[in-house]
């Protein structure tokens, strides 16, 4: 693979420091393996065991990283990053996913090594360093999102120049949507889901779908992963409700497929593949891998779905529903055609609407990332031009305000959804639970379920 080595050289801002780089890499790799364990040990001693959740273990503070990164002592790191981003964006308009993964991984290893050389990162403990590594990933993926996430890539470059792998993502997204429409009428029993009486099924399905759809509002692989896990938490909330959670995958996988069929999830295939490609392998814990694989398994099942993939007790009844749905789909299509004569234009928009729709939470990230806007400009730029202190403070203030506002809205949404799932509870009770559980959706659902029972 001579090609990739050449590409690498182009992106390596410091080829002359190759030896130093090699050593750094070794160190980073060894350390990163122990970070998560140490981190969780520390935390489990300060939290009571019952309170331990995924979020506690995987503490991440992007604001802290952003502040550290703008410290003048970290200027060399900023320069490396600028240089990398600049080259990534200008060397070629389109890279294949494989090339992108290679370039980003190599830079990641390089810059992780450099974190141990420059203050303020150099003197951080392992947890702090891990936070910085997560911050780097979020920063560079935020910057490269439009080039790496297939639905935004085809919006931004000439479609004829896009490689077949990115195009395949889009095709599969469209095929999945088509399949979901074709089979949206199916019931739990068609998927071999244990036939117990599911109370509030529709609310849980709605919430799981809503959590899942949030993937389109985030750019960082980590943030998208959190959305995936949250939707799985809601599914297990439902299973716990019916004492089916101990049955593991036998109940979980069919229900996951059901959620995808009932939810209106945009760009699901592209999102899952993006996480798989760009979430740093070492950060992906076993549990995350498992649920990511389950999503892949689930969408693959739907992509190749036909009547034979389903359990059908009454063929005539199934056919009737299928035809009825086909008729409905036709009507919907005609309606759409009428509404918009330029179907071609509108379908293109439909594909991308999920990808570009702004999510409130990611606006915070966007505004923080925009503070590093000059990262795309020439790497010759002087570090002093990063902006004067006043400007920085002003921006910090804006971001804090924005975050507060977003959080408020997000909290209100959570309470609203939970109220509709648990109409027997007063809103005040639900609010109390949310405050006590810090608005973490999975834990809130668990708690309310235990109160309910």
Nearer to another protein, 25 or 94 (CB): 25
Yes or no: say if 442 and 237 are a contact pair by the CB < 8 Å rule: yes
Yes or no: say if 282 and 33 are a contact pair by the CB < 8 Å rule: yes
Shortest distance (Å) from residue 153 CB to another protein: 22
DSSP string, 132-201: HHHHHHHHHHHHHHHHHSHHHHHHHS-GGGS-HHHHHHHHHHHHHHHHHHHTTT--GGGGT------TTH
Nearer to another protein, 275 or 399 (CB): 275
Yes or no: say if 384 and 239 are a contact pair by the CB < 8 Å rule: no
| Other Cβ atoms closer than 10 A to 252 | 19
Stretch 1-20: interaction string toward another protein, x if CB under 8 A: x--xx--x---------x--
Site for another protein in 185-204 (CB under 8 A): 192
Shortest distance (Å) from residue 214 CB to another protein: 16
Yes or no: say if 281 and 29 are a contact pair by the CB < 8 Å rule: no
Does 245 help bind another protein (rule: CB under 8 A)? yes
From CA 385, how far away is CA 391, in angstroms rounded? 11
Yes or no: say if 153 and 160 are a contact pair by the CB < 8 Å rule: no
Site for another protein in 223-242 (CB under 8 A): 229, 232-233, 235-236, 239
Does 291 help bind another protein (rule: CB under 8 A)? yes
DSSP string, 284-303: --HHHHHHHHHHHHHHHHHH
Select the residue interacting with another protein from 145, 283, 301, 372 (CB under 8 A). 301
Nearer to another protein, 42 or 245 (CB): 245
Shortest distance (Å) from residue 368 CB to another protein: 27
Binding segment for another protein among 25-33, 260-268, 363-371, 422-430 (CB under 8 A)?
Answer: 25-33
Yes or no: say if 262 and 212 are a contact pair by the CB < 8 Å rule: no
From CA 66, how far away is CA 13, in angstroms rounded? 22
Shortest distance (Å) from residue 343 CB to another protein: 35
Does 354 help bind another protein (rule: CB under 8 A)? no
Nearer to another protein, 30 or 164 (CB): 30
Q: Footprint of another protein on this chain (CB under 8 A)?
A: 1, 4-5, 8, 18, 21-22, 25-26, 29-30, 33, 37, 40, 52-54, 57, 102, 105-106, 109, 192, 229, 232-233, 235-236, 239, 245-250, 252-254, 285-287, 290-291, 293-294, 296-298, 300-301, 304, 309-311, 442
């Amino acid at each position: 693979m001579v090609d990739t080595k050449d590409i690498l050289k182009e992106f390596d801002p410091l080829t002359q420091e190759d030896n130093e780089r090699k050593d750094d890499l070794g160190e980073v790799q060894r350390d990163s393996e122990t970070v998560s364990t140490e981190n969780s040990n520390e935390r489990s001693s300060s939290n009571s065991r019952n309170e331990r959740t995924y979020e506690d273990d995987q503490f991440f503070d992007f604001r802290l990283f952003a502040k550290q990164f703008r410290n003048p002592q970290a200027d060399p790191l900023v320069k490396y990053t600028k240089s990398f981003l600049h080259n990534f964006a200008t060397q070629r308009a389109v890279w294949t996913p494989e090339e992108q993964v290679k370039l980003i991984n190599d830079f990641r290893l390089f810059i992780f090594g450099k974190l141990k050389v420059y203050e303020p990162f150099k003197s951080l403990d392992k947890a702090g360093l891990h936070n910085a590594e997560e911050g780097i990933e979020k920063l560079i993926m935020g910057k490269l999102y439009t080039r790496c996430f297939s639905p935004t890539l085809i919006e931004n470059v000439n479609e004829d120049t896009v490689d077949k792998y990115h195009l395949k993502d889009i095709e599969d997204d469209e095929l999945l949507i088509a399949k979901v429409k074709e089979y949206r009428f199916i019931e739990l029993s068609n998927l071999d889901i244990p036939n117990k009486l599911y109370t509030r099924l529709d609310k849980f399905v709605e919430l799981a779908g809503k959590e899942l759809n949030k993937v389109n509002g985030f750019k960082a692989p980590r943030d998208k992963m959190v959305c995936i896990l949250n939707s799985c938490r809601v599914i297990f909330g439902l299973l716990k409700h019916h004492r089916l959670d101990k049955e593991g995958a036998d109940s979980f996988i069919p229900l996951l497929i059901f959620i995808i069929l009932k939810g209106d999830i945009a760009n699901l295939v592209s999102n899952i593949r993006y996480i798989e490609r760009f979430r740093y392998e070492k950060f992906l814990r076993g549990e995350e891998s498992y649920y990511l694989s389950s999503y892949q398994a689930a969408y693959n099942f739907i992509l190749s779905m036909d009547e034979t993939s389903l359990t059908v007790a009454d063929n005539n009844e199934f056919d009737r529903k299928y035809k009825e749905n086909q008729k409905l789909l036709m009507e919907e299509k005609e309606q759409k055609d009428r509404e918009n004569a330029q179907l071609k234009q509108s379908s293109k928009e439909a594909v991308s609407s999920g990808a570009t729709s702004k999510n409130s939470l990611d606006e915070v990230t966007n505004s923080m990332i925009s503070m590093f806007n000059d990262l795309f400009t020439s790497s010759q730029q002087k570090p002093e031009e990063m902006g004067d202190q006043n400007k920085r403070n002003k921006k910090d203030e804006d971001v804090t305000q924005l975050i507060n506002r977003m959080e408020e809205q997000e909290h209100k949404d959570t309470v609203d959804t939970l109220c509709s799932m648990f109409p027997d509870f007063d809103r005040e009770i639900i609010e109390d639970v949310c405050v006590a559980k810090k608005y973490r959706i999975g834990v809130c659902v668990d708690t309310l379920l235990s109160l309910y029972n």
